[in-house]
A and B are shown apart, each in its own frame.
Chain A
């Protein structure tokens, strides 16, 4: 018993402590970062799985009070059925993306320090049971993300990162103001204590103001139109190895936190009674769904297109929260949870696929994807499966999430929302189909390889996708530059990279079948918070 709840602080403390190792060891050894990160994230994944099996089989929350202070004064960490979904997603994606970065870079030790800090922050957001602690973890996550985005090539990355920093900081500050108002009215910061104190609070105006600030703060963090402007440039300018991680997890964790505040802290019942709360959340979500998809359709850059697609997919999640508030619908909440996890996995896979293509052919626009299915059938196939899953073609996970959300909307008789979900699926198909058409039906018009490389001696010139033999060659200082160039164009894609994209595609389909299971797992949590 007592040893189980120690897993909670360990899940957060281990990556923070491990984040110091790449820098410290880097004083003596050159390339320890990847090893440290892989060991840590794998350990985290195992720990998360163990914790999840306990939470789901026992059917009770696992809690840990930090430092032994009771939850009125101290900070509590909570693992329940909802948070464990996100913890599993975070640890799985963080481990998986490393399969790309080993060869795909960025390679420096400091990169892995930021990587582990980001993982720690995300796990903190998922596990904390304290609204101020949530702010701190939001900021740890954001700081690590700013650093990771800025590590991209060229000065554009710094501009994108600064834009993200200013907007992200103001968003987190808005959330903090909201917390201040709620704290003023109730005098506590613990989520469960707040759940009791909020309906009983004397001054409801303070709490309503707090809710307003919190909604605006999270609308920026989750990248909802028109507050999404930081997100496309951040995703586009971040290094290819970083985008999958931040696209899959950072906004997801914020959206999770928002959902947590809605169902646990304020409570569905309270928000249903609050004037305009449901209407505002629904409007933010639905407008983002439409605006995000339309903006995605007109993009030419694949990474940017997928970034706008994230705006619309998170719009769906927020709209689902709106349905939860308006109709007290359990179904919509299950849909939101499944869509959070499913979208995270699908986007991680898609951005990994995009990174892989960018490394092999330097192809970054939709047009450059022409003929990809011929030259890279496996990767193209995986990307196609992921795209279809994003659209919501069964049995992909996108279908299950949207199905539950739409079902919830119909049950609550919110017809406009159901219509928006249907329309968004059609529009998602519009941009996904563009890419699919290019990959499968357009012959590559330009020369076979626009950046055809000369064979590089150090690589043997003919290294296949699996050129682990060429790995040592790259370390020879004399051939370094030639080898780096050669690597980029000759055999830049390792088996691991292809494997992880395929794995993500398989996961997206498998999760599609697991929709009912996830709904069952969430059931105890939902009966507790909604009824």
Chain B
């Protein structure tokens, strides 16, 4: 079991990262930190995709077509997950931007970034 986990250490790390991300979202009172947690969560998924495409064989290479066509016996990393991750990164950036814009608005209105303070301020109104 331990040996298996060590040989698949990237997956273990990815899921530790996922856990840290979602813990930040739940536990941190600071809205910006919550958003960083969301980002971490997403980044872990990107790494998950990338690590599943990685191959650890002798002579394996990046998925780039060499000059003069593709030899039949070449081992390359799967390019599809990498394309997926590129798209997902774009989506993630858009989400972060919208989230930060909302946080700026909340800060301008309530003067706080902390969720507990925010709850008090809103309860008073």
Contact = CB atoms under 8 A, between A and B. Distances in A.
Interface of A: 73, 132, 135-136, 139, 142-143, 146-147, 150, 155-156, 158-159, 161-162, 165-166, 169-170, 173, 176-177, 180, 183-184, 187, 189
A158 B112 CA distance: 13
Nearest to A150: B102
B106 interface: yes
B23 interface: no
Majority DSSP secondary structure for residues of A touching B: helix
B109 A155 contact: yes
Nearest to A177: B45
B17 to A, nearest CB: 12
Among the interface residues A135, A136, A159, A184, which one has the most CB atoms of the partner chain B within 10 A?
A159
Contact of A183 (B34, B41, B81, B94): B81
B16 to A, nearest CB: 14
Among the interface residues A142, A180, A189, which one has the most CB atoms of the partner chain B within 10 A?
A180
15 contacts: A132-B84, A136-B87, A139-B95, A143-B98, A146-B98, A146-B102, A158-B105, A162-B103, A165-B95, A165-B99, A173-B45, A176-B45, A177-B18, A180-B52, A189-B80
Contacts of A136: 87, 91
A170 B34 CA distance: 11
Contacts of A147: 98
Closest 7 CB pairs of A and B: A155-B109, A158-B105, A162-B102, A139-B91, A158-B102, A158-B106, A184-B52
Contacts of A189: 80, 84
A498 to B, nearest CB: 34
Interface in B17-59: 18, 22, 25, 31, 34-35, 38, 41-42, 45, 48-49, 52
* Size range of the chain B interface in the assembly: 20 to 34
B109 A173 contact: no
Nearest to B81: A183
Contacts of B77: none
Given A173-B45, A180-B52, A159 B106 contact: yes
A180 B106 contact: no
A180 B31 CA distance: 28
B118 interface: yes
B25 A166 contact: yes
Interface of B: 18, 22, 25, 31, 34-35, 38, 41-42, 45, 48-49, 52, 78, 80-81, 84, 87-88, 91, 94-95, 98-99, 102-103, 105-106, 109-110, 118, 122
Nearest to B35: A166
Given A150-B102, A158-B102, A166-B34, 18 more contacts: A139-B94, A142-B95, A143-B94, A143-B95, A150-B105, A155-B106, A155-B109, A162-B103, A165-B99, A169-B42, A169-B95, A169-B99, A170-B41, A173-B42, A177-B45, A180-B49, A183-B81, A184-B52
Contact of A162 (B18, B22, B99): B99
B45 A180 contact: yes
Majority DSSP secondary structure for residues of B touching A: helix
B102 A165 contact: yes
B104 to A, nearest CB: 9
A169 B105 contact: no
B119 to A, nearest CB: 10
B122 A159 contact: yes
Contacts of B109: 155, 158
B38 A169 contact: yes
Nearest to B48: A180
A161 B95 CA distance: 12
Contacts of B42: 169, 173
A146 B41 CA distance: 19
Contacts of B49: 180
A220 to B, nearest CB: 13
A116 B90 CA distance: 20
A165 B105 CA distance: 14
Among the interface residues B52, B78, B102, which one has the most CB atoms of the partner chain A within 10 A?
B102
A184 B52 CA distance: 7
Nearest to B78: A187
B106 A162 contact: yes
Contacts of B118: 159
Nearest to A158: B105
Among the interface residues B45, B48, B52, B95, which one has the most CB atoms of the partner chain A within 10 A?
B95
B31 to A, nearest CB: 7
A183 B99 CA distance: 29
Contacts of A183: 52, 81
Among the interface residues A136, A143, A156, A162, which one has the most CB atoms of the partner chain B within 10 A?
A162
A104 B99 CA distance: 27
Contacts of A159: 106, 118, 122
Nearest to B84: A132
A478 B42 CA distance: 51
Contacts of A187: 78
A184 B84 CA distance: 13
A143 B103 CA distance: 15
Given A136-B87, A139-B91, A156-B122, A165 B48 contact: no
A354 to B, nearest CB: 23
B35 A155 contact: no
A156 B121 CA distance: 11
